[in-house]
Amino acid sequence: MPLSERRAALESLVVTEFKRELMMDETDVLPHHESYFELGLTSLGATDTRTRLEREIGRPMDSAHLFNNPTVGHLVDFLMTEVLPEFFTTGPEAAGDGPGPDAPTKDLVDDMLRELYRS
């Protein structure tokens, strides 16, 4: 999957799991910047959601991660930077040097050029 599409895919996965736990249907909108606990998620629900997310992403997660990142937006950011960083960086950033200030733009341009030259 192109780097430019990975955040959206991860976000979709996280939203699906929280909507499932909150008993929302496909047409319901889960606000990305509103606490899922304020929307009705319980501690038991957080544990169940964490277990499903661990299975989906193939990485262990501490339950505290859901409490410390109480919105979809915060949790996705945390997963991208702390749990799955190798899937969201390229080049020197993947080796731990950290992304530069123009990393998202550079990644998008790189993906577009790859697609262009495949044609």
Per-residue pLDDT of the chain (119 residues; tens, 9 = 90+): 888 899 999 999 999 999 999 999 989 999 989 999 999 999 999 999 999 999 999 999 988 898 999 999 999 999 999 999 999 986 554 444 444 444 455 566 566 556 666 65
Taking CA 26 as the corner, what is the angle to CA 80 and CA 18, rounded to the nearest 5 degrees?
40
The amino acid at 30: L
- Give the pLDDT score at 116: 60
- Residue 116: Cβ-neighbour burial (10 angstroms; 0-12, 13-18, 19+): exposed
| Residues 8 and 44 occupy one common structural domain | yes
Domain that holds residue 17: 3-88
- Give the pLDDT score at 73: 94
User: The whole model's pTM is what?
Assistant: 0.71
| Residues 66 and 106 occupy one common structural domain | no
Residues 6+ apart with CB under 8 A from 29: none
| Residues 97 and 117 occupy one common structural domain | yes
| Residues 64 and 98 occupy one common structural domain | no
| Residues 12 and 45 occupy one common structural domain | yes
| Residues 28 and 75 occupy one common structural domain | yes
Q: Can you tell me the distance from the alpha carbon of 34 to that of 73, in angstroms, rounded to the nearest whole number? A: 9
- CATH number (domain holding residue 55): 1.10.1200.10
